[in-house]
């Protein structure tokens, strides 16, 4: 079968980060500013609905949001305004009696924020409240003015406000150092595992050696290991691209009753040399074209037309009812099941007597994906 994958497109392959004498220090300085913003605008608030725009917005605040789970209802929002059928995608319910804060990383012209506010987000939730506050790190004065004109009742809270697009682009490049310094992935859709070890002085060559000895145990086809460019000195990142989906020991198409093609299958590894923490993330993307039929089949029949365990849906809809219609739920479900399969295949293979096994990794965080 011919190769179906393209090289990974990363932020830094599209936008170069300007030279920085000490990128690690810059990342830590910006991290401090973001934390102060979070403390001032979010942490000390009364119970409030917090809705975070993906992907970069979620990644920017994720370490601090984890500490508020249980006190504030927290949702993640993906605005598909670039598709034929604009829609909002929420991952958890919100309290209709609370005020609501919208979290974002940056505002350029304000078009995305105005689009979100215009979609009458709470129509499906029987909520009497609208978004009352927008919080972010970076914004242009023009973008904030555009939001104020259409939504004068909404409070805007941003740390860094610039007057020109060149200034905005320069600050965005600096913000990418924060994303690079984080162990949490910028893409919040895909499953990942976080592991740590007491073993020190683990290099990138050690990880590549572990990969080359583990992958053939569950995959017999062509694959490639690429180094991902990072400016942060104490973080290393590599990606394993799998080029033949039929070469896995389990036929991936058996995971679904539908026929679909793959756009990408990969494993992404990020390693912190500072504290010996490793992240393993699975990335499976299909171009499956499905309709609402799959959702309503599960809703009415109590079972999945894709033959997946109900628990994947139950995680977001515990009462077996869809408060928010998610037209792309089933495609995400398939992508996540395949991603989890690839991760677990690697973990199971690497735990056999090997260099990886000798290092004695401990899994301390698992994220199942959306």
pLDDT digit string, tens, across residues 227-239:
998 999 889 999 9
Contact 103, 50 (CB under 8 A): yes
pLDDT the model gives residue 31 = 93
Give yes or no for residue 115 having a pLDDT over 80.
Answer: yes
Is residue 4 included in any domain, yes or no? Answer: no
Same domain? For 358 and 328 the reply is: yes
pLDDT the model gives residue 188 = 67
Same domain? For 225 and 270 the reply is: yes
Same domain? For 244 and 350 the reply is: yes
Q: By 3-state DSSP, what share of the chain in percent is helix, strand and coil, each rounded to 5?
A: 40, 25, 40
Same domain? For 282 and 329 the reply is: yes
> What is the residue range of 74's domain?
11-181
Is residue 187 included in any domain, yes or no? Answer: no
Is residue 253 included in any domain, yes or no? Answer: yes
pLDDT the model gives residue 204 = 85
Work out the mean pLDDT of the chain and round it to a whole number. Answer: 77
The sign of the dihedral angle between the CA atoms of 358, 222, 190, 203 is positive
Q: Which of 13, 370, 52, 7 is nearest to 176 (CA)?
A: 13
Give yes or no for residue 175 having a pLDDT over 50.
Answer: yes
254/347: higher pLDDT:
347
Is residue 2 included in any domain, yes or no? Answer: no
Same domain? For 139 and 17 the reply is: yes
Same domain? For 103 and 244 the reply is: no
Task: Read off the pLDDT of each residue in 57-65 and give the average, rounded to a whole number.
Answer: 85
Q: Alpha-carbon distance 134 to 125, whole Å?
A: 20
Task: Read off the pLDDT of each residue in 2-26 and give the average, rounded to a whole number.
Answer: 56
Task: Read off the pLDDT of each residue in 21-48 and give the average, rounded to a whole number.
Answer: 86
The three-state (H, E, C) secondary structure of 101-157, written as one string: EEECCEECCCHHHHHHHHCCHHHHHCCCCCEEEEEEEEEEHHHHHHHHHHCCCCEEE
Confidence of residue 163 (pLDDT cuts 50, 70, 90): very high
Is residue 3 included in any domain, yes or no? Answer: no
Same domain? For 177 and 114 the reply is: yes
CATH of the domain at 36: 3.40.50.2020
Q: SS3 for 227?
A: strand
Is residue 5 included in any domain, yes or no? Answer: no
Token pair of 180 as six digits: 């690079």
Q: Last residue of a domain, which of 133, 156, 181?
A: 181
213/118: higher pLDDT:
213
pLDDT the model gives residue 320 = 40
Q: Alpha-carbon distance 113 to 334, whole Å?
A: 30
324/264: higher pLDDT:
264
Give yes or no for residue 41 having a pLDDT over 60.
Answer: yes
Tell how strand 155-162 and strand 131-140 pair up. parallel
Contact 67, 93 (CB under 8 A): no
CA 260 to chain centre: 23
- Give whole-number Cα distances, 204 to 81, 144, 226, 273, in Å: 39, 43, 11, 9
Same domain? For 177 and 202 the reply is: no
pLDDT the model gives residue 322 = 42
Number of domains in the chain: 2
Q: Supply the DSSP string of 277-344, one letter for each residue.
A: EEEEEEEEEE-----THHHHHHHHHSS-TT---THHHHTT-TTS--SS--TTHHHHHHHHHHHHHHHH
Same domain? For 116 and 221 the reply is: no
Give yes or no for residue 54 having a pLDDT over 50.
Answer: yes
- pTM of the predicted protein model: 0.75
* β-sheet bridge partners, residue 271: 236, 278
Same domain? For 280 and 332 the reply is: yes
Which of 10-19, 35-44, 246-255 is predicted least confidently?
10-19
Q: Last residue of a domain, which of 156, 181, 206?
A: 181
Give yes or no for residue 159 having a pLDDT over 90.
Answer: yes
Q: Last residue of a domain, which of 181, 200, 223?
A: 181
Same domain? For 120 and 253 the reply is: no
* β-sheet bridge partners, residue 77: 53, 90
Is residue 219 included in any domain, yes or no? Answer: yes
Same domain? For 220 and 312 the reply is: yes
Q: Alpha-carbon distance 26 to 88, whole Å?
A: 34
Give yes or no for residue 292 having a pLDDT over 90.
Answer: no
Is residue 257 included in any domain, yes or no? Answer: yes
pLDDT the model gives residue 129 = 56
């Amino acid at each position: 079968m011919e190769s179906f994958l393209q090289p990974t497109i990363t932020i830094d392959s599209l936008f170069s980060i300007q030279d920085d004498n000490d990128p690690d220090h810059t990342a830590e300085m910006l991290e401090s500013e973001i934390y102060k913003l979070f403390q001032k605008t979010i942490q000390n608030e009364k119970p409030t609905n917090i809705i975070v725009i993906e992907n970069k917005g979620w990644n920017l605040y994720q370490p601090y949001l984890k500490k508020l789970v249980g006190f504030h209802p927290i949702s993640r929002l993906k605005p598909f305004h670039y598709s034929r059928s604009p829609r909002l995608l929420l991952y958890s319910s919100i309290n209709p009696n609370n005020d609501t804060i919208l979290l974002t990383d940056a505002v350029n012209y304000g078009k995305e924020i105005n689009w979100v506010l215009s979609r009458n987000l709470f129509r499906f939730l029987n909520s009497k409240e609208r978004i009352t506050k927008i919080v972010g790190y970076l914004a242009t004065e023009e973008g904030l003015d555009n939001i104020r004109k259409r939504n004068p009742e909404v409070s805007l809270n941003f740390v860094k406000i610039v007057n020109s697009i060149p200034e905005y682009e320069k600050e965005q490049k600096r913000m990418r150092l924060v994303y690079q310094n984080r162990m949490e992935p910028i893409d919040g859709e895909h499953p990942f595992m976080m592991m740590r070890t007491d073993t020190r002085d683990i290099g990138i060559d050690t990880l590549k050696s572990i990969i080359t000895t583990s992958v053939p145990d569950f995959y017999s086809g062509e694959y490639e290991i690429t180094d991902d460019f990072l400016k942060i000195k104490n973080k290393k990142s590599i990606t394993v691209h799998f080029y033949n989906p039929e070469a896995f020991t389990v036929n991936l198409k058996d995971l679904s009753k539908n026929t679909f093609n793959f756009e990408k299958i990969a494993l992404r590894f990020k390693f912190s040399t500072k504290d010996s923490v490793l992240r393993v993330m699975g990335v499976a993307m299909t171009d499956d074209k499905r309709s609402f039929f799959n959702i309503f089949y599960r809703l009415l029949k109590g079972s999945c037309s894709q033959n997946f365990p109900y628990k994947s849906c139950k995680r977001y809809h515990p009462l077996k009812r869809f408060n928010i219609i998610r037209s792309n739920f089933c495609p995400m479900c398939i992508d996540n099941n395949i991603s989890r399969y690839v991760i677990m295949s690697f973990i199971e293979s690497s735990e056999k007597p090997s260099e990886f096994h000798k290092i004695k990794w401990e899994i301390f965080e698992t994220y199942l994906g959306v």
